[in-house]
Structure 1
Amino acid sequence: MFNEFNISNLENAKSNLEVLLTTSKNEIDELLKIENKTYENFVKPYEEIGERVNEFLTPIFHIDSVKNSEITTKVYEECLPLISDYETNISQNDNIYRSLKDIQDNYSTSLNDIQKKVLENEIRDFKLSGCHLNNEKKDRLKELNLKLSELSHKFSQNLLNATNSYEMIIDNYEDVKELPQSDLALAKFEEDGKTKYKFTLQMPSYLAYITYGSNREKREEIYKAYCTRAPENGKIIEEILKLKYEKVNILGFDNYAQYSLSTKMAKTEEEVVRFLEELALKGKDKAKEELKELEEYAKEDNITNLKSYDLAYYSEKLKKAKYDIDQEYYRPFFEQNSVLNGFFNFLNEVFNIKFTLTDAKAWDTTVNVYDISEDGKTIARIYIDLQSRKDKRGGAWMNNWHSYYINSKGKEQLPTAYIVGNFPPAKDDTPSLLRHDDVVTLFHEMGHALHHLLSKVPEALVSGISGVAWDVVEFPSQFLEYFAYDKEVLKLFAKHYETGEVLSDEAIDRIINAKNFQSSLGMLRQVEFALFDFKLHQKLYETEYEVQKVLDSVRDKVSVMNPPKYNKFQNGFSHIFAGGYAAGYYSYKWAEVLSADAFFMFIDSGKVLNKELAVKYKNIILKNGGSKDMDKLFFELTNREPSVDSLLKIDGIIS
């Protein structure tokens, strides 16, 4: 039923990929020989060839992120040029493009809406790949695509290496006395008969000290190490920007932002900038108030010049003072397995889907694999890898492996996906205990996964998250996040791992009340990242100095507190330089407007655990995947256009 995860033959991946790509190319050549091409005899098998390549490659690229080693990096770097060359050749094949165009023209009346969407997307993407250009320009695009893939991987690898190479050793208990016991236990070690504490730039460790570290100098030390990681990425950014600019110029665009928007819900550069600046304008006064409150609070410690490395520390103390939020109190109630099982119960209650643990093979013993069923029928599989490891890339993400579709023989292909996190790991005497923020992250990534796994679209190219516009792909993930703040939902899994005691109403109220603590500062931070990204791609900036000037100008406009000069945030901005968010980071906020507006339906119904509404959402948004434009699906769900004010209200920025 499902392909098993198996990379035992990893060292032969390159030769196996060569065989697969040669076979795929030959099969496409045979399809092109068909005289009377139809959707069934050309598009369907062409789609399946692409799926087969993706199914082979995804585990190979995935393992480099979750179990990084010299061999995974070597294999990644061997396979990357092969797949880049293959995909460029396919995407620039004028014969495939003209065949798709002919089918679109000749069968427009007999094709269904989903098939029309597949053709519309594919024809657009062929144009964006330069299939209409002369051979010289095609060859140059091929070179550019390969080089950009290599640079993205190098950017990510530099960041991982820099993260892993740093340690801050503390031997004075006074400097760690405020850390939660669980964080302290992870940092503690013995050397020469003395107790010491080790902090790294791995996210759980870094966050522990920057949030609770008593020694201001040590906070700055680890902050500086974090925000000056991988300085060599500055030159890689220069090269990435130059190559992207050349690429989109060849394709007929004025800049990369314009190229990026050709596949998104937002239509113009002006629309995106206006949207972000509106958020900044509406949130800035409140953000200034939030910062002033924090500065006043820090004065109690005789801190009269609050710095960036003080923000997390004093924010946590102020939050605790205002809402009595003590993360150490909460973490025993969020034991990883308890959270997962309760989360699954919630998803079963609202979406009518059941998760069953399997003994399927994965890449690490801490990874759990579940089959998902609906009305007694298995419909999908999910791999969940939540604990941080030294060989795992930082952050959290969902990775789709197989897509749901009906193949040319009428058989169902079931979807699979991976969820990856970097939550505090279990130790011999302590299970993995999560922060509430980790719980929210889990809900977020599951939102992505369900968007992919619950699809019932028969065409792989627009099933699940395939074909979904990038600036709305975060809608289902952010929508699900809101449920992580609901009392009824939290009571399903917030149980003390030792006593079984359920988290009290009062304690849950504190989490809910604290949700919008410093929400304006948080929003402005996201707007800063998004505006920097977008403006950076509106023209060519050729030097590190120019890149820094763009970031500085954005900060001057939207931020209420600028970081120190040594902060080189851009060198670690992997979302846009090693991921798919270039000129698209605004998507988080764009999609958040949809998710907030959709969640208001549940609030307005008077019942957050509203199964009828949840099933409607599942049937309209999740099951349709990328087969319809999200603005149409959103209107079908809510019967209204989305409003920015819904987001500002739900974040407590306006009333």
Structure 2
Amino acid sequence: MPSSPLEPLELPGSGDWLTWVAEHGEGQLAEAAREVALVKSGPTDADTVLATWNRAETAIANAEAAHLWAEVHPDAAVRDRADELSQQVQKFVTELGQDRDLFAVFDGLSADGLDDGAVRVLEHTLRDFRRAGVDRDDATRDRLRELSEQGVKLSQDFGRNIRDDVRSIRVAPERLAGLPDDYRAAHPAGDDGLVAITTDYPDLVPFMTFASDGEARHELALTQNNVAWPANDQVLQDLLAVRRETASLLGYDSWPDLDTEVKMIGTGQAIADFIERISSASAERAAQDKGVLLARKQVDQPGADEVEVFEFRHYGELVRREQYDVDGQVVRTYFPFEQVRQGLLDVTGRLFGLEWTPVGRDEAGTWHDEVASYDVGLDGVRIGRIHLDLHPREGKFKHAAQFDLVKGVAGHQLPEGVLVCNFNRGLMEHDEVVTLFHEFGHLVHHVLGGQGEWLRFSGVATEWDFVEAPSQMLEEWAWDADVLATFARNAAGETIPVDLVAAMRRADQFGKGIYAAHQMSYAARSYYFHAGPNDDLTAFGDELQRRYSVFPPLEGAHMHCAFGHLDGYSSGYYTYMWSLVIAKDLFSAFDVDDMFAADVAGRYRDRVLGMGGRKDAADLVADFLGRPYSFDSWTAWLAE
């Protein structure tokens, strides 16, 4: 990794964010326009053109960071202005993709004498022009521009409706029976004598796991599955229509065919085939898992003949407690949030040779006082900066994701990434710890992959159906007893017992068949919603759930309205399971008895994470494993 004297982006902190966001975004767009003009009118040798284009793409990416502020800034006016900027950026990008004069410059370049990176940039750029419709007639290109603008606005509406629609139920205090003491203490009754339980994750997850009151869990599940209903039903229909028409105008049979052309999987039909393959492989195991859940439910409700989708967490917890001797309420006492966050930094620092140096809010200039910032060092040199925004608040993104703030370009700008989650400020469930490790994997990938020359391949810039694999692999470190012993301690200072971790690992084997099957029900929604029109998305989604999940649909629910991945992942939600297949194969190279072995960790860091998108994902995996990836490790995992 090259040394870097570069400085992080200067954020306004307690200053005027509204002005800063506007000036930064518009300034970067103006810079991009200047560089594009140079491409069209300046020197015509390939090296100069590509270097100038790299500067243009860098400025565009900097302007695209407006999307982050739309999701996290506490000021609604800043969020709205950021949405407007995102629309401007996408309009600019769409116009560039259809600029025939600009395309002619690239189409006329010779790859002779270019290094591999420059050749890859040229190839990808020409491919992008074609996918944008540069070779279509004027009327088609005009319509494609209209569709792009509509799509951006619809995507923003879809996400905003989810983000702003926090719902709640109100229950009597006695209906919190079964929940941990700290949860009940944090949820006092209001003036009406009732307790509010919201659909935000820190409220939702413990309630669905531990609450003894089945009717209350049902009520909260239905409330959560109707977030953004009915508004997002029509928004999603309109968005799907925009995508179908876009694909048709570009000459593709379907949106999934357009979308998968640049992914590892290759074709839309391959998604359908993958869904069937995973469904078939997991069917027997899923049925066995559900049988165990049903038997446990029948202890409480003799004669019960079905387990509902919202009961999986609760009865799964009871099975783990009673049959595997794992009590989630005991487990969580070993995971206070502050300890987990520091433990994560220590673990990843040791694993990848990274140094995390805290940066105060005044210096970092962040948007909220709960955001924790760190400079990232390697071999004593700062190579990036990260920001951890990990707790819920009004108007903030409701799920868990890594957002780019700055994409790294060697000699030009440091990579900066933001981790946006919604965790409890107190004790964490172990599955939340696993989620934090997972999402932090994206952040590490962004920084380590942001040390190259080309913006196009900076950070998490591989094919989109590979990006989850490195993060899913990092989850393994959240299950290792020796790793957990470095930070998992209860209030008495006692380290999590080795035998408890072993029991947790055994218990984790339970339910994986259900998990795989239910993931395919999500993947099927994602794919088939995009593969063709459907008048009733609720009914069609319910049909797909009956086909692929072991759980029946939740009557009265409209989960697609709150399923945010239908926007960002569009037809590609299969990515999570596709990446898990690869993640299990990647992990097979590590020694489970020495999770910090420097040789394999360093090779993985440099050959996979540090490469960003400079090679195709399949080649990155082969470079690391010494062979092509296979399903073998995933199949063995499912059978454990």
Give the alignment's TM-score, normalised by structure 1. Answer: 0.91
Match of 2:452 in 1: 457
User: In structure 2, which of residues 8, 22, 35 is the aligned counterpart of residue 27 of structure 1?
Assistant: 35
Match of 1:592 in 2: 580
Shift of 1:441: 1.0
User: In structure 2, which of residues 95, 102, 105 is the aligned counterpart of residue 96 of structure 1?
Assistant: 102
Match of 1:421 in 2: 421
Match of 2:376 in 1: 372
- Residue identity in the other structure for 1:275: F
Shift of 1:481: 1.0
Match of 1:3 in 2: 9
1:241-280 pair list within 5 angstroms: 241-280=240-279
**Residue 484 (1) aligns with residue 481 (2):** no
2-structure distance, mates of 1:511, 1:269: 38
Contact 2:442 2:471 in 1 (8 A): yes
User: In structure 1, which of residues 200, 203, 208 is the aligned counterpart of residue 201 of structure 2?
Assistant: 203
1-structure distance, mates of 2:483, 2:212: 35
1-structure distance, mates of 2:26, 2:606: 40
Aligned residue for 1:593, secondary structure, equals: helix
2-structure distance, mates of 1:381, 1:637: 26
User: In structure 2, which of residues 226, 231, 246 is the aligned counterpart of residue 228 of structure 1?
Assistant: 226
Residues 26 and 378 from structure 1, CA distance in 2 versus in 1: closer, same or farther, beyond 3 angstroms? Answer: closer
User: In structure 2, which of residues 509, 516, 521 is the aligned counterpart of residue 516 of structure 1?
Assistant: 509
1-structure distance, mates of 2:477, 2:635: 17
2-structure distance, mates of 1:529, 1:493: 34
Aligned residue for 2:556, secondary structure, equals: coil
**Residue 533 (1) aligns with residue 541 (2):** no
1-structure distance, mates of 2:101, 2:68: 32
Shift of 1:49: 2.4
2-structure distance, mates of 1:445, 1:282: 27
Count of residues in correspondence between the two structures? 625
- Residue identity in the other structure for 2:477: F
Match of 2:351 in 1: 350
Contact 2:457 2:613 in 1 (8 A): yes
Match of 1:429 in 2: none
Match of 1:50 in 2: 57
Aligned residue for 1:601, secondary structure, equals: coil
Aligned residue for 2:531, secondary structure, equals: coil
User: In structure 2, which of residues 608, 617, 640 is the aligned counterpart of residue 621 of structure 1?
Assistant: 608
- Residue identity in the other structure for 1:595: A
- Residue identity in the other structure for 1:122: T
* Cα offsets for 1:279-332 (capped at 9, x unmatched): 111111111111111111111112514333333222211221122222222223
Match of 1:87 in 2: 93
1-structure distance, mates of 2:183, 2:443: 29
* Cα offsets for 1:230-255 (capped at 9, x unmatched): 22211112111111111111111111
Percent identity, aligned pairs only, is 24
1-structure distance, mates of 2:587, 2:440: 16
User: In structure 2, which of residues 394, 419, 440 is the aligned counterpart of residue 390 of structure 1?
Assistant: 394
* Cα offsets for 1:77-122 (capped at 9, x unmatched): 432332222111112112222222222xx2x231111111111111
2-structure distance, mates of 1:132, 1:449: 37
Match of 1:640 in 2: 627
Over the residues paired in the alignment, what is the CA RMSD in angstroms? Answer: 2.0
Contact 2:68 2:405 in 1 (8 A): no
1-structure distance, mates of 2:468, 2:423: 21
* Cα offsets for 1:112-166 (capped at 9, x unmatched): 111111111111111111112222222211111111111111111212232x2x2
Give the alignment's TM-score, normalised by structure 2. Answer: 0.93
Residues 505 and 50 from structure 1, CA distance in 2 versus in 1: closer, same or farther, beyond 3 angstroms? Answer: same
Aligned residue for 1:405, secondary structure, equals: coil
Match of 2:137 in 1: 134
2-structure distance, mates of 1:143, 1:267: 27
Residues 276 and 43 from structure 1, CA distance in 2 versus in 1: closer, same or farther, beyond 3 angstroms? Answer: same
Shift of 1:373: 0.7
2-structure distance, mates of 1:367, 1:17: 22
Contact 1:529 1:585 in 2 (8 A): yes
User: In structure 2, which of residues 84, 96, 107 is the aligned counterpart of residue 78 of structure 1?
Assistant: 84
- Residue identity in the other structure for 2:245: E
Contact 1:398 1:418 in 2 (8 A): yes
Contact 1:184 1:197 in 2 (8 A): no
2-structure distance, mates of 1:267, 1:85: 27
Residues 122 and 36 from structure 1, CA distance in 2 versus in 1: closer, same or farther, beyond 3 angstroms? Answer: closer
- Residue identity in the other structure for 1:46: W
* Cα offsets for 1:487-514 (capped at 9, x unmatched): 1111111122x33221111221122222
Match of 1:428 in 2: none
Aligned residue for 2:102, secondary structure, equals: helix
Shift of 1:575: 0.6
Shift of 1:57: 4.1
Contact 1:343 1:492 in 2 (8 A): no
Shift of 1:446: 1.4
User: In structure 1, which of residues 433, 436, 444 is the aligned counterpart of residue 427 of structure 2?
Assistant: 433
User: In structure 2, which of residues 538, 563, 571 is the aligned counterpart of residue 573 of structure 1?
Assistant: 563
1:333-344 pair list within 5 angstroms: 333-344=334-345
1:145-160 pair list within 5 angstroms: 145-160=148-163
Aligned residue for 1:613, secondary structure, equals: helix
1-structure distance, mates of 2:508, 2:11: 38
1-structure distance, mates of 2:625, 2:31: 46
Match of 1:610 in 2: 597
1-structure distance, mates of 2:341, 2:164: 31
* Cα offsets for 1:325-364 (capped at 9, x unmatched): 2222222321222222222222222211111111122111
* Cα offsets for 1:226-279 (capped at 9, x unmatched): 112222211112111111111111111111010011110112233222222111
Q: Can you give the 5+ residue segments of structure 1 that lack an aligned partner in the other structure?
A: 426-431
Q: Can you give the 5+ residue segments of structure 2 that lack an aligned partner in the other structure?
A: 1-6
**More deviation in 396-405 or 23-32?**
23-32
- Residue identity in the other structure for 1:120: E
**More deviation in 17-26 or 131-140?**
17-26
Shift of 1:654: 1.4
Shift of 1:608: 2.6
- Residue identity in the other structure for 1:587: T
Aligned residue for 1:472, secondary structure, equals: coil
Contact 2:404 2:418 in 1 (8 A): yes
1-structure distance, mates of 2:402, 2:432: 15
Aligned residue for 2:178, secondary structure, equals: coil
Contact 1:528 1:555 in 2 (8 A): yes
Contact 2:309 2:554 in 1 (8 A): yes
2-structure distance, mates of 1:542, 1:595: 34
- Residue identity in the other structure for 1:598: L
2-structure distance, mates of 1:78, 1:10: 15
2-structure distance, mates of 1:222, 1:334: 25
